[in-house]
Amino acid sequence: MVAKKASRMTIEKADKVGFCFGVKRAIDVLEKVARERGGVETLGAVVHNRQVLQKLAAIGVKVAKNVDDIRGDVVVTSSHGISPQLEEEIKDRNIEIISTTCPFVLRAQVAARRLAEAGFLVIIYGDAEHPEVRGILGWTKGRGLAALDDKFIARLDQIPRRIGILSQTTQVPTHFTDFVKKLIDTAFIRDSEMRIIDTICHDIRERQAAAIELAGQMDLMLVVGGHHSANTNRLAELCSQVTETYLIETAAEIQPSWLEGKRRIGVTAGASTDEQTVNEVLKSLPA
Ligand code: SF4
């Protein structure tokens, strides 16, 4: 933790902030390609962070909303990865794909494919609408579903004998284990086989642990990141269980009333927030 002491207020930054390994790698690739080609398109936003997207736009990175929206003959896909069906659709249009799929996401895709090929129904603990989860589901070739609770079990015609369970990479580990326990209670029946694979990203685990530790010592936590970023929202949710917490995209969103009477303020950030934005938040706090 880096501490900035003021006469009445202490401000501390969590140990783990700045881009995660996967986002940094994706942005490095994207910047290189954009500079070499004088611009390039990405399929969807490469990160859920407006400030980062604005910087990328300045070097010629354009966001194609979907495959029909791609104008050029090359597209960069995000660290969230894509399904094999989408990959094929893009290639069928003679568009070259430059993939920046994070290795942790790739690990989840491979696990999903192997489980499905071995005859398991693949359950992904995660948000079915998130691009990463849609991509992983695609690798199950119709033998998977995504859920955040066990209600789906009641809707199945019959409980499959073989169930494989994995997680969206950015979920909270304890929430994943609670989900697994519920599935064991409801779906682990006679002659069943269950395979549980931990596919939660190491960076996210460390980031969440560092944020919770810091929140425990603070009167207020500021979580810096995109309002639509899944991992940033989860960090804010975890910190809010410990202390008063606000999710902000930039320093401009800080309300002076939040700081009234606070002596210790902690700052953490999502995996797609660049360190410059975090430092701007730190600088804006009263010194
Ligand atoms: S949060 Fe984890 S899984 Fe997601 S891109 Fe970053 S390193 Fe990869």
Buried b (16+ CB within 10 A) or exposed e, 132-158: bbbbbbbbbeebbebbeebeebeeeee
202 burial (CB, 10 Å; 0-12 / 13-18 / 19+) is exposed
Q: How confident is the model at residue 5 (pLDDT cuts 50, 70, 90)?
A: low
pLDDT at 214 over 90: yes
pLDDT at 102 over 50: yes
Catalytic residue among 132, 213, 244, 253: 132
CB 23 near ligand 1, within 6 Å: yes
Ligand 1, atom 2, lies closest to the CA of 201
Contact 271, 19 (CB under 8 A): yes
Predicted pLDDT at 167: 98
For residue range 18-69, what is the model confidence (pLDDT) as tens digits? Answer: 899 999 999 999 999 999 999 999 999 988 888 899 999 999 999 999 999 9
What percentage of the chain reaches a pLDDT higher than 90?
A: 88
Q: How confident is the model at residue 1 (pLDDT cuts 50, 70, 90)?
A: low
Predicted pLDDT at 286: 85
**What's the rounded mean pLDDT across residues 246-268?**
96
37 burial (CB, 10 Å; 0-12 / 13-18 / 19+) is exposed
CB 46 near ligand 1, within 6 Å: no
For residue range 135-155, what is the model confidence (pLDDT) as tens digits? Answer: 999 999 999 999 999 999 989
Mean pLDDT value across the chain: 94
**What's the rounded mean pLDDT across residues 79-95?**
97
Q: Is the dihedral of CA 164, 166, 172, 173 positive or negative?
A: positive
Tokens of 62: 């354009």
Which atom of ligand 1 is nearest to 132's Cα?
Answer: 4
| 104-196 has CATH 3.40.1010.20 classification | yes
Q: Does residue 206 carry a catalytic annotation? A: no
Contact 62, 83 (CB under 8 A): no
DSSP type of residue 168 = -
Contact 267, 278 (CB under 8 A): yes
**271 C-alpha to ligand 1 centroid (Å):** 7
Tokens of 76: 């960069």
CB 230 near ligand 1, within 6 Å: no
Ligand 1, atom 6, lies closest to the CA of 22
Predicted pLDDT at 6: 47
CB 203 near ligand 1, within 6 Å: yes
**What's the rounded mean pLDDT across residues 267-272?**
95
**What's the rounded mean pLDDT across residues 264-280?**
94
Predicted pLDDT at 139: 98
Q: Which positions ≥6 away from 194 have C-beta within 8 Å?
A: 162, 163, 164, 165, 183, 184, 187, 188
**201 C-alpha to ligand 1 centroid (Å):** 6
2-19+202-284: which CATH topology? Cobalt-precorrin-4 Transmethylase; domain 1 (3.40.1010)
21-102: which CATH topology? Rossmann fold (3.40.50)
**119 C-alpha to ligand 1 centroid (Å):** 28
Predicted pLDDT at 3: 56
CB 47 near ligand 1, within 6 Å: no
CB 201 near ligand 1, within 6 Å: yes
CB 106 near ligand 1, within 6 Å: no
Mutate to test the pocket of ligand 1, among 16, 17, 19, 23 (most ligand atoms within 8 A of CB): 23
Distance CA 161, CA 146 (A): 18
Q: How confident is the model at residue 4 (pLDDT cuts 50, 70, 90)?
A: low
For residue range 186-211, what is the model confidence (pLDDT) as tens digits? Answer: 999 888 999 999 999 999 999 999 99
CB 136 near ligand 1, within 6 Å: no
> Domains of the chain: which residue ranges?
2-19+202-284, 21-102, 104-196
What angle in degrees, to the nearest 10, is found between the helix axes of 230-240 and 202-215? 30
104-196 has the same fold as 21-102? no
For residue range 109-132, what is the model confidence (pLDDT) as tens digits? Answer: 999 999 999 999 999 999 999 999
Q: Give the helix/strand (H/E) hosting 151.
A: none
Which atom of ligand 1 is nearest to 23's Cα?
Answer: 5
